[in-house]
Amino acid sequence: MINLASTSDLIRVVTSAASDIEVHASWCDLNGTTVTPGRTNTPSIVTATTTTVVPSPAAATVRNMKHLNITNNSAGTSCVVTVEHTDGTNVVALMSFTLLPGENMIFNEEGRWVHRDYNGAEYPPAGRGAYDGFSVSFMKAGTAADAAGYWYCTSKDAGFPGAWAVGTPGVNGRVTDGTTSTDNGCIPIKNPSVGANYLTGLEMASGVAHTHQFFDILWVNSGLTVTTTTLQSITTPTLPARDINGTINGEGCMIGILCTSASGLAAVASNATVTYTNSAGTGSRTATLTAVVGSQAPQTPVIGTVIWFNLAAGDKGVKSIEGITLGTSWVSGTISLFIARDIATIGTPIVNVSASKNIKEPGIRLYNGTCMLHCNLAGATTATFFSGELVIQEK
């Protein structure tokens, strides 16, 4: 419903062409406790003009427009029809449609606008209100993981997409953008032409029973010294606006280590720590590991090993990183620290049989520039072939 609350308020229609536009409006007037229904027909607007279709109410009366029906009765001329509300000074455009011959637009009592074709069929939503889905295939020939229960990332493996590489951004690192050549090799998700992308489905199969995780990596570095056991300072750039809220604050983001080559770490280690600022802007927070499989560095980590850190109690994300302390020499190899937002997980309990996961609409928001990678919680150390498909809806 739309209210006309003064003797200057009215509803008018702006027509863009010399067509034949017909308008019907119904309303109720409220004066104290007295309700009086009313209506008006504007039978034929045949020029490009502005026409009042709901007049102003009387003094001390509120006119509540319940229904507005606008039809292009022309035999062959399309017309852009815009409905406006004015209080006599300020003019506000409420809705605009291009009406082809025979089409109409309707405003109903629930406040919904509808566009119907010449057969009376309702147009589906368009632009930001529409879904336009596409799928993204995913296949990787993974190498052997560490012991069962540790995380392994397929970013460096051959397949589709091809291998993704950290590059050499240095200790302070770089932010990512999955739509640029620098991050070729991440799971390719194009930016939407309008609206936004949403993940609405996953399908995954693997040659070994694993648990799979897809994540958007926002920042990554290189150049850490694996034999240094004291603090290595880091100054991270501003994160891209891809946290769970689409901001730079890092809410919902985690910290991980990615082994970009095999390490000579002599024994399992859980004494590495990361100093960071949380998503609320509180600095000097400490992320830690735990001395259990999956939450510590394994002995002699293989290339592709991922170790996820635990955030400090009460923290919901990471805005920046100020340093890392390995605590124990990793002897040899190369590692990268990264910040990532978890997107979705799926299990493959039956070997070589696809598992599916449907995500209720609208789905999980994927912000522009998403740089999505895949890792798995290893069910066994066996080299594994992975295949899957992500269903993306553009809305």
pLDDT score of 110: 82
Q: Provide Rg for the chain, Cα atoms.
A: 30
Q: Among 371, 342, 374, 341, which residue's Cα sits nearest to residue 178?
A: 371
Tell me, yes or no, if the pTM score tops 0.75.
no
φ, ψ at 128 (rounded to 5°)? -70, -15
83, 11 Cβ separation under 8 angstroms: yes
Q: Which two tokens stand for residue 102?
A: 């025979």
170, 222 Cβ separation under 8 angstroms: yes
Q: Which two tokens stand for residue 247?
A: 């901001």
236, 172 Cβ separation under 8 angstroms: yes
Encoded amino acid at 47, one letter? T
155 vs 260: CA distance, rounded Å: 10
pLDDT score of 123: 79
DSSP assignment of 57-125 equals PPTT-EEEEEEEEEEE--SS--EEEEEEEE-SS-EEEEEEEEEPTT-EEEE-TTS-EEEE-TTSPBPPP
Q: Coil, strand or helix: which one is 140? A: strand
Collect the ranges in the chain with pLDDT lower than 50. none
pLDDT score of 126: 59
Which secondary structure element, helix H or strand E, spans residue 197, and what is its range?
Answer: strand 197-206
Q: Coil, strand or helix: which one is 251? A: strand
Task: Express each pLDDT in 162-218 by its tens digit.
Answer: 999 999 999 999 999 999 999 999 999 999 877 789 999 999 999 999 999 999 999
Question: Could you give the maximum distance between any two Cα atoms of the chain, in Å?
Answer: 88
pLDDT score of 1: 79
pLDDT score of 226: 98
pLDDT score of 395: 77
98 vs 15: CA distance, rounded Å: 10
pLDDT score of 291: 97
244, 251 Cβ separation under 8 angstroms: yes
CA 352 to chain centre: 30
Task: Express each pLDDT in 256-272 by its tens digit.
Answer: 999 999 999 999 999 99
147 vs 301: CA distance, rounded Å: 9
Q: Which two tokens stand for residue 99?
A: 């009406």
64 vs 53: CA distance, rounded Å: 14
